[in-house]
């Protein structure tokens, strides 16, 4: 069985949009084979069921008439997997956010569902519970039924699936499919075990000795074994003796789009958020988080694992002025209008594609250095800056030293605040504020009162 963990991806706030997303990563449990169906416990149920009706289904859209924060799905139970009693129907409640781990289901579709009971007795679930289409769970369900019949199970089984990053602004559901006739290898030292996927991309390996294995696959051109959202290759797979491990293998496209947002001075913007859309999806995803990546000075923005297609790349999509990147909306091709934007055409054989965006003009800014010290005059390591009205993002240069971009001609209130556990065990919440009015000032010092935070080790 595959367990799921929630992965929350946080970023800075740009143009009024918080770069927050929720996804899940599957964690294959390495222990010996247990009861695949799970042990029935009070307050939980798993079943294969079909959605017969629903109220308030779908993502809650801004400005929509239906403002219910909850959706109600009614399932006919086609097959009980684990539960304390037989049931013929289950009503499930889920939240309706677009990036809050809420679960969404379609009328007439069959799913494998894992639900839990809340304090008021209703059944609930989320995308990290392990729910999936019954068609995608077919191999797992096959093993559950085989185990009930007392049949031998494979040590490891699953699907090799071609996928792309799960952001709505780029996702093409037709791209994702199982990869047929692919040779998969498990390697540990000199040991190598092989399986070839079937027409649906499914693989099975029996009698695998206990060990930690590296997974390899003879993939088509332009694909590599990788993980969605998480960077880096998939970690080695631990397989226990007597395992019956379900493990999905994902192959993602190799293409990557990278670049900088460059000002008239020829220098990259200090901080810049860039969004990527499939051409056919631009303008259709309002209210849904786009795929955004952040440039930090000379460190470029990078969109990894891009499937073949035609794309639109845009800086400052909402056309807000931020002191870190005080330039108007600009598309790749260095134009302000999407109709004139240059499309990025990605093929299955592409590697790294460089796509700089050149911005012009912009609101005048200035940079100041803020030194934060304690009453003893020593640099205050664990202090956080906030500014009103909104300014650039304070960048920590060293202990107690921060730089921040401001709009010229604007007065600011700058606050330094500590959040730490003092040696006495008390929580420090000391802060100090000062007004920044003089545009000629390029450096200022703030003194935080009281006992200083103990210095923390930094990576």
pLDDT, tens digit, 9 for 90 and up, residues 100-112: 678 899 999 999 9
Domain regions of the chain by residue span = 36-152, 153-253, 256-358, 365-448
Query: pTM of the prediction?
Result: 0.77
Cis peptide before 389 (omega within 30 of 0): yes
Give the CATH number of domain 365-448. Answer: 2.60.40.10
CATH match for 153-253 among 2.40.160.40, 3.90.79.10, 2.40.10.120, 2.60.40.10: 2.60.40.10
Residue pair 22/103 in contact (Cβ under 8 Å)? The answer is no
For residue 459, what pLDDT is reported? 40
Q: To 5 degrees, how large is the angle CA 339–CA 345–CA 349?
A: 175
Report whether CATH 3.40.190.10 matches the domain 36-152.
Answer: no
Identify which of 334, 387, 349 has the alpha carbon closest to the alpha carbon of residue 365. 387
Identify which of 3, 43, 54 has the alpha carbon closest to the alpha carbon of residue 248. 3
Topology agreement, domain 153-253 and domain 365-448: yes
For residue 16, what pLDDT is reported? 36
CA 73 remoteness from chain centre: 26
Residues in the chain predicted with pLDDT less than 50, given as ranges, are 1-20, 457-459
For residue 455, what pLDDT is reported? 62
Q: Determine if residue 99 is left, alpha or beta; phi over 0 gives left, psi from -120 to 50 gives alpha, anything else beta.
A: alpha
The residues near 339 (Cβ < 8 Å, ≥ 6 apart) are none
The residues near 32 (Cβ < 8 Å, ≥ 6 apart) are 240, 241, 242, 243
d(CA 164, CA 354): 20
Report whether CATH 2.60.40.180 matches the domain 256-358.
Answer: yes
For residue 231, what pLDDT is reported? 79
For residue 284, what pLDDT is reported? 82
For residue 153, what pLDDT is reported? 96
């Amino acid at each position: 069985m595959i367990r799921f963990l929630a992965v929350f991806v946080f970023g800075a706030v740009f143009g009024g949009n918080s770069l927050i997303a929720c996804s899940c990563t599957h964690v294959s449990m390495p222990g010996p084979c247990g009861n695949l169906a799970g042990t029935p416990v009070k307050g939980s149920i798993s079943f294969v069921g079909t959605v017969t009706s629903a109220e308030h289904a779908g993502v809650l859209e801004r400005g929509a008439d239906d403002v219910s924060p909850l959706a109600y799905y009614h399932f006919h139970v086609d097959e009980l997997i684990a539960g304390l009693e037989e049931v013929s129907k289950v009503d499930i409640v889920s939240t309706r956010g677009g990036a809050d781990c809420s679960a969404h289901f379609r009328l007439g579709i069959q799913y494998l569902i894992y639900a839990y009971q809340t304090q008021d007795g209703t059944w609930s679930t989320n995308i990290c519970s392990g729910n999936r289409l019954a068609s995608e769970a077919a191999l797992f369900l096959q093993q559950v039924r085989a185990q009930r019949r007392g049949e031998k199970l494979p040590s490891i089984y699953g699907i090799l699936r071609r996928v792309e990053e799960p952001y709505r602004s780029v996702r093409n559901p037709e791209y994702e499919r199982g990869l047929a006739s692919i040779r998969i290898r498990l390697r540990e030292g000199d040991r190598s075990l092989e399986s070839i996927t079937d027409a649906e991309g499914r693989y099975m390996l029996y009698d695998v000795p206990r060990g930690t294995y590296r997974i390899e696959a003879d993939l088509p051109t332009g694909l590599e074994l990788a993980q969605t959202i998480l960077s880096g290759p998939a970690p080695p797979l631990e397989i226990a003796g007597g395992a019956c491990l379900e493990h999905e293998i994902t192959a993602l496209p190799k293409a990557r789009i990278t670049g900088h947002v460059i000002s008239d001075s020829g220098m990259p913007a200090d901080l810049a958020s860039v969004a990527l859309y499939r051409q056919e999806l631009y303008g259709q995803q309002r209210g849904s988080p786009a795929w955004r990546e952040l440039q930090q000075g000379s460190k470029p923005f990078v969109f990894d694992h891009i499937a073949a297609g035609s794309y639109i790349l845009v800086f400052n999509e909402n056309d807000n002025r931020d002191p870190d990147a005080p330039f108007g909306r600009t598309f790749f091709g260095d134009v302000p209008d999407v109709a004139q934007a240059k499309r990025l055409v990605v093929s299955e054989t592409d590697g790294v594609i460089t796509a700089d965006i050149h911005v012009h003009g912009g609101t005048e800014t200035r940079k100041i250095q803020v030194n934060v010290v304690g009453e003893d005059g020593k640099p205050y390591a664990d202090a956080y800056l906030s500014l009103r009205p909104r300014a650039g993002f304070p960048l920590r240069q060293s202990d107690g030293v921060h730089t921040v971009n401001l709009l010229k001609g604007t007065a600011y209130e700058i606050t330094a605040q500590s959040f730490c556990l003092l040696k006495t065990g008390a929580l420090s919440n000391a802060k100090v504020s000062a007004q920044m009015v003089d545009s000629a000032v390029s450096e200022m010092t703030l003194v935080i009162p009281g006992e200083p935070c103990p210095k923390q080790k930094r990576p």
